[in-house]
């Protein structure tokens, strides 16, 4: 297996694959209430196409894959894809990011297929608020999904909480409580100004530093290690079973350690969530491109991977894709 090193000397070994742009929720900060024009079925990569790209990327040095979306679990037979990716030589770890709504139906099946771990996005622990934030979701479904993930032995189970001032900043300590007795790993994320995001405003932004101050007042905090590929800084409330951490995309740029590529559901490869630079792999693939051409195109994305993202906190037209289309 090769090694992919970009021009800033970062090792690129992690591929995030969006398997669909469809979602079964409409989170107010992510999607318009009316939804978006979803890609047609033909636009989406088939499982075989995803596996072909992941297989070539694995030969080049990718060894970790994350499935995301849209909501990955709305794609039919996802466990089949997990199994196909797990069988690729060189892929050591498959993980998934999900809203958890369908996880109770699939957690065991996914685990058997080769899924190692899961991140569940959950921004509130209050049923009425969950309905407001997701526009119609049921908190109970997400919580049952988390239980099913633990029960199936997916490990670690991480809970991604988007920090939204005035929406869930009064629940930070409730999320910490969740980590005391359960092996759950809560990570607080900073809100990013992404294309088409009508909900974004500076007033809704809460920094990880502000959240950490709240955590420090909650109890004795110590550093912790959690396995994963992400940029989180992790901590634990003394003697807690689980941990909490922070992903400070805006206030503490972690681009110098960025190891990832992103494959959109319609087969474009991107080196950065916030950059418009992308390479269409789907069309060459469908037109019979051989392995050498596809490797060349993947290399092109690695070579043009930006040094860092350009988000500052001001809204910028960062990309023609919505978060749900690139795969958050
Ligand atoms: N449906 C899956 C889920 O809910 O985890 C995967 C896709 S969702 C787009 C992935 C993550 O992106 C979620 O954790 C969500 O909170 C996050 N996200 C969406 N919009 C965001 C934004 N503007 N800033 C930061 N994170 C965002």
Say how many Å lie between the first and final Cα of the chain, rounded: 27
Residues 267-313 have pLDDT tens digits of 999 999 888 889 999 999 999 999 999 999 999 999 999 998 877 55
Number of domains in the chain: 1
Residue 217's Cβ-count burial label (10 Å; 0-12, 13-18, 19+) is exposed
Q: What is the pLDDT of residues 210-248, one digit of tens each?
A: 999 999 999 999 999 998 767 788 999 999 999 999 999
User: Which ligand 1 atom is the nearest neighbour of the CA of 68?
Assistant: 6
CA distance linking residue 63 with residue 78, whole number of Å: 20
Q: How many A from CA of 288 to the centre of ligand 1? A: 34
- Residue from 23, 35, 121 whose mutation best tests the ligand 1 pocket (most atoms within 8 A of CB): 121
**Residue 324 CA, closest ligand 1 atom number:** 9
Q: Is residue 266 part of a domain?
A: yes
Using alpha carbons, select from 194, 260, 272 the residue that is nearest to residue 228: 260
Q: Tell me if 227 is assigned to some domain.
A: yes
Name residue 164's beta-bridge partners.
Answer: 205
Ligand 1: distance of its center to the CA of 323 in Å? Answer: 7
E-strand stretches of the chain: 14-18, 64-68, 93-98, 117-121, 157-162, 184-189, 221-223, 233-237, 243-247, 260-263, 268-270, 278-280
Separation of CA 90 from chain center: 21
CA distances from 253 to 163, 256, 311 (A): 16, 8, 10
- For residue 245, the cross-strand partners are 187, 234
Q: Is residue 268 part of a domain?
A: yes
Residue located nearest, by CA, to atom 26 of ligand 1: 191
**Quick one: residue 171, left, alpha or beta (phi over 0 = left, psi -120 to 50 = alpha)?**
alpha
Q: What is the pLDDT of residue 44?
A: 97
Assess if residue 242 is contained within a domain. yes
Phi–psi pair at 282, nearest 5 degrees: -65, -50
Asked if residue 249 is part of any domain, the answer here is yes
Q: In the chain, what's the furthest Cα-to-Cα distance?
A: 59
Q: What is the mean pLDDT of residues 50-60?
A: 98
pLDDT at position 187? 97
pTM value?
Answer: 0.95
Q: Which two tokens stand for residue 81?
A: 């894809």
Range of the domain at 173: 14-326
Q: Between β-strands 184-189 and 221-223, what pairing exists: parallel, antiparallel or unpaired? A: unpaired
Measuring from atom 13 of ligand 1, which residue has the nearest CA?
121
**Distance (Å, rounded) from C-alpha 285 to C-alpha 282?**
5
Statement: residue 146 has pLDDT above 90:
yes
39 CB contacts (<8 Å, ≥6 apart)? 21, 265, 266, 325
Q: For residue 272, tell me if it sits in a domain.
A: yes
* Residue 279 falls inside a structural domain: yes
Q: Report the CATH number at residue 318.
A: 3.20.20.70
Q: How far is CA 302 from CA 75, 156, 279, 298, in A?
A: 28, 29, 10, 6
In a domain, 6, yes or no: no
d(CA 157, CA 103): 12
User: Measured in angstroms, how far is the CA atom of residue 85 from the centroid of ligand 1?
Assistant: 23
pLDDT single digits (tens) 24-50: 999 999 988 787 888 999 999 999 999
| Residue of minimum CA distance from atom 20 in ligand 1 | 30
**Do the beta carbons of residue 179 and residue 222 sit within 8 Å?**
no
Q: How far is the CA of 200 from the centre of ligand 1 (A)?
A: 13
Residue 119 Cα: closest atom of ligand 1: 5
CA 313 to centroid of ligand 1, rounded, Å: 17
- Residue 19: which of 64, 79, 61 has the closest Cα? 79
Determine the 3-state secondary structure of 284 from DSSP: helix
Average pLDDT over the chain, rounded to an integer: 93
Q: What is the pLDDT of residue 202?
A: 87
Residue 160 CA: nearest ligand 1 atom is 14
43 CA from centroid of ligand 1 (Å): 22
């Amino acid at each position: 297996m090769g090694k992919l090193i970009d021009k800033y000397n970062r090792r690129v070994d992690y591929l995030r694959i969006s398997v669909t742009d469809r979602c079964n929720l409409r989170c107010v900060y992510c999607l318009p209430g009316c939804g978006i024009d979803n890609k047609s079925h033909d636009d989406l990569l088939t499982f075989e196409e995803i596996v072909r790209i992941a297989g070539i990327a694995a030969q080049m040095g990718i060894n970790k894959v994350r499935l995301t979306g849209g909501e990955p679990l709305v794609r039919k037979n996802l466990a089949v894809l997990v199994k196909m990716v797990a069988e690729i030589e060189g892929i050591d770890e498959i993980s998934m990011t999900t809203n958890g709504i369908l996880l109770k139906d699939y957690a065991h099946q996914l685990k058997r297929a080769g899924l190692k771990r899961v991140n569940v996005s959950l921004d509130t622990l209050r049923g009425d608020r969950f309905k407001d934030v997701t526009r119609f979701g049921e908190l109970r479904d997400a919580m049952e999904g988390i239980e099913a993930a633990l029960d199936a032995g997916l490990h670690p189970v991480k809970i991604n909480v988007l920090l939204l001032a005035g929406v869930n900043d009064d629940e930070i300590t409730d999320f910490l409580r969740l980590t005391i007795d359960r092996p759950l790993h809560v990570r607080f994320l900073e809100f990013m100004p992404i294309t088409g995001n009508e909900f974004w405003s500076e007033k809704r932004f809460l920094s990880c530093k502000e959240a950490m101050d709240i955590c420090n007042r909650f109890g004795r905090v110590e550093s912790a290690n959690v396995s994963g590929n992400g940029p989180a800084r992790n901590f634990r409330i003394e003697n807690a079973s689980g941990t909490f951490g922070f992903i400070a995309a805006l206030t503490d740029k972690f681009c110098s350690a960025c190891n990832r590529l992103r494959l959109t559901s319609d087969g474009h490869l991107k080196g950065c969530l916030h950059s418009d630079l992308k390479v269409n792999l789907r069309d060459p693939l469908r037109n019979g491109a051989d392995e050498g051409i596809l490797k060349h195109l993947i290399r092109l994305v690695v070579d043009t991977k930006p040094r860092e993202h350009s988000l500052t906190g001001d809204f910028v037209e960062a990309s023609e894709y919505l978060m749900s289309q690139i795969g958050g």
